[in-house]
Structure 1
Amino acid sequence: MKKLRSFYMHLKHPHTIKRKWIYPLALGSTLSLSLLFLLTLTPLAGNRLYNYYTTAGTSVFIENKLRPIGISDAVRPVRFAYLISGSNHDGDMLRRTLLALYHPNNRYVVHLDAESSPEERLRLHEFVVNHPLFMKFGNVVMITKANLVTYRGPTMVANTLHAAAMLLRDGGDWDWFINLSASDYPLVTQDDLIYVFSTLARDVNFIDHTSNIGWKEFQRAKPVIVDPGLYMSEKSDVFWITQRRSVPTAFKLFTGSAWMVLSRQFVDFCIWGWDNLPRTVLMYYANFISSPEGYFHTVICNTKEFRNTTVNSDLHFIAWDNPPKQHPHYLTLQDMTRMIDSNAPFARKFHQDEPVLDRIDSELLFRGPDRIVPGGWCAGSRESGSDPCSVAGNLTRLDPTSGAQRLQKLVSSLLSEESFRPRQCR
């Protein structure tokens, strides 16, 4: 373990290894995005500069033998901050995903965008504010003033930054930020995820990325688009400006998956941006098609403090065409074995009420209908079909399942000598 730890630390800190254009509409969208971003910062206070170090003695891998652990047995278990977002008709699925992901020590922001109906948003809001556990722990909030999100434009990045700013403003001792959609679903319990991540250096970032942007240079980087979602009250598609732009030379473009597990240190940097890079890159991606697949990747890989903390994976099982197209297949019962064999903690995409979700609940999450996934913190009775999570016990106690073993295999592979450093930002 010490050798593996030394190996990771060596990789994280290796030895020393104009044109101008102005388009009125593009400038207007850029300023609108900048103002929206700045509004998320106003409630924040203080300077949150972090010391980027790893606690001595922490292993990058978990032990082979799984057992329930308490606060006296290990360092404080990690905590996650989730953004779960959806659109029109996603309210019920978002609710189901939230229950499948819930743990009292985590924090959650849920968002139904402005395309959903006021009635749908009201139903979700009533569920959040009236759920007994959510009320007790106060760790689930809903963005009630819905943002307009155009999923091909930068408004999705703005919405993610908005949620991240809320989570930083409201405090809470969380370690990683995870963005998911209502069509995502976990394949492991939160105890499994916390158990494995509690042994990792808390500055690692799981983000699928590459600098080989290929066809995206011509079809996404060089075109200039404007997202009406930045300044209109009703949703419409993005539109293109006739002129094209050159690829930037001040920073290198990266692309990858829009789904990430980001360290608190990096999220803090994206919000505060003390060297101004996050804001500069944000202004560039205000006119970029599918900016969620490039913004965070470009920031992290162009920042010295973070480029060696990246693990090149989005921790998702996704079924793509070969060659891959723009959108993945919806998962069904036929994909169950492949999902399990992937060892991934999350999968997407799922239709609402897809039968495979019931099987995941039954076989992987041990969750009853419309209930929270049980964990070591659940202290209630199971007799006569009672919900054990109706009573909260020791919140630091973990009861990992076989899902932790699967996830351990994946993380061990991703952090191996063959995969970790060779697949980082280049």
Structure 2
Amino acid sequence: MTTRSTKCHLGWKGCVFLMCLGMSSVYIWVTRSTETRSKVKMTPCRPFHAHCRDLLAPNDDPTEWHRRDCRIKSYITNSKVDCSNLRKDLHFITSPLSAEEEAYPLAFILTVHKELEVLVRLLRAIYAPQNLYCVHIDAKSPPEYRNSLRKLSDCLENVFLSTRSETVVYGGFSRLQADLNCMGDLVKSKVGWRKVINLCGQDYPLMSNLELVRYLQDKMWRDKNMTPGIKQPEHIKWRTQFQHNESHVYFVQSKVKKGPPPHNMQIFFGTAYYALTRGFVDFVLENPKARDLLEWSRDTYSPDEHYWVTLNHLTEAPGNNIGGGWTGGIRAIKWADQFRTKHKACNGRYVRGICVYGFEDLPWLIKKGSMFANKFENDFQPEALDCLEQWHRNKLLSNANVPIESSWLLATPREMAP
């Protein structure tokens, strides 16, 4: 029997070339096979809560939604983020959804220090290319947190980090100063934003951008600032009657009494959250009375809960809302001390007297009809935010007056899912 041998007739250089080419082909095949197997083994997106369909598809609609997005944090923390793909991969809205929204750009101030994934989900929910976003990162936040948000802002031309960061202390003047830092940056922008709204990183919108625009332009609020609050109650006056000393980690009340407010101002008490006209922001940054109240407030407790609402009761303040009271549905919050009077239960857990929402809180939030809900955590009952996020995106896209791009979808009907 004759043994047949295979010979290379291309010379030794040609043979070596063919061998290297073959080995390269095998390497590529193995690498791709490994990547494919890795993708197959990746943890699939968390499914929606069993009862989420009742919120997403009422009236007995049998549609089942399949989440497409479950890698936000790993994507943002990746050192090789590609800006050309980021907006698409993270499902940001890349075009104004209506002429009405484009004609009324909003500005947002986001004061953040943790919960990176919740923050990114918040940002993409409120994001529109005609708006402007200032992100204030607590100076004591980890470098990797700041770096991740810097990469994100570098890829979104209308999102920027504040030029000055404060070491924010709960209840301290630093929290108020953080907002003022962003306001100083926002007024320098060429974007003609009409009103500014401030948020924290654990908020989530209950209104779409179109609904916000319409709400802020309705008869009650068209030329008005929204700073819910009332005359300072007796049991709150200790906040401004005594000096408080702020360190980098805590706030201590002293026994030293403060002098009266400047210009005989009546001090009001309200929320730290607002929707302000551009004229009012200019007033805050430039008016002597506003500056004097700011200096007087430096050693008060939680000055952001009296500063905005007090200035909004000055007759000379643009967009003032004298006698506005608690009107303005800025936040849906379940306070622990309002159990049974304002809400029936917190179905999540309380942190500093505020409910971190669980899934069973969603019907209350949706019915409440406020602008935003506070608050959510990524590692506590995340199914609540999953469902609310999809409910919000469905509403946002259902009112769009432009063609819907596939990358804007956070989830797809199961029969369409890849």
The verdict on a shared fold, with TM-score over 0.5 as the criterion, is: yes
Q: Does 1:334 align with 2:360?
A: yes
Pair 366,380 (structure 1): closer, same or farther in 2 beyond 3 Å: closer
Corresponding position of 1:261 = 275
Partners of 2:398 and 2:283 in 1: how far apart? 34
Question: Is 1:245 aligned to residue 258 of structure 2?
Answer: yes
Output the TM-score relative to the length of structure 2. Answer: 0.65
Structure number with the bigger relative contact order (C-alpha 8 A, sep ≥ 6) is 1
TM-score where L is the length of structure 1: 0.64
Deviation at 1:75, TM superposition (A): 9.9
TM-superposed CA distance for 1:171, in Å, is 2.8
- 1:36-185 matches, cutoff 5 A: 71=99, 77-87=103-113, 89-130=114-155, 134=156, 138-143=157-162, 145-185=164-204
How far the C-alpha of 1:163 sits from its partner, in A, is 0.3
CA distance in 1, matches of 2:104, 2:386: 28
Which residue identity lines up with residue 264 of structure 1 in the other structure? R
How many aligned residue pairs are there? 297
Q: Give how far 1:323 is off.
A: 4.6
Does residue 316 in structure 1 map to residue 343 in structure 2? no
Residue 77 of structure 1 aligns with an amino acid whose one-letter code is A
Give the 3 Å change call, closer, same or farther, for CA 177–70 of structure 1 in structure 2: closer
% identical equivalent positions: 24
1:224 equivalent in structure 2: 243
Alignment of 1:344-363 (within 5 A): 344-352=370-378, 354-363=382-391
Greater Cα offset, 354-363 or 176-185:
354-363
Pairwise CA distance, 1:183: 0.8
In structure 2, the residue matched to 1:192 is: 211
Letter of the aligned partner of 1:301 in structure 2?
H
Which residue does the alignment assign to 1:206? Answer: 226
Matched residues in 2 for 1:244 and 1:116: separation? 34
Shift of 1:139: 1.1
Structure 1, unaligned stretches of length 5 or more? Answer: 1-67, 229-234, 390-426
Instruction: Name stretches of at least 5 consecutive residues in structure 2 with no aligned partner.
Output: 1-95, 340-349, 411-418
- Alignment pair present for 1:281 and 2:281: no
Q: Would the aligned equivalents of 1:109 and 1:163 in 2 still touch at CA under 8 Å?
A: yes
Q: Deviating runs (4+, > 4 A) in structure 1?
A: 68-71, 198-201, 323-326, 372-375
Distance 1:125 1:76, change over 3 A: closer
**1:376 and 2:392 aligned:** no
- Cα distance change on mapping 1:374 and 1:183 into 2, 3 Å: farther
Instruction: Return closer, same or farther for 1:328/1:283 CA change in 2, 3 Å cut-off.
Output: same
Q: Deviations over 1:210-255 (max 9, x none)?
A: 104221113x121101223xxxxxx221233332235537111101
In the alignment, is the contact (CA less than 8 A) between 1:85 and 1:94 conserved in 2? no
* Cα separation, partners in 2 of 1:375 and 1:114, compared to 1, 3 Å: farther
2:393 aligns with one of 328, 347, 365: 365
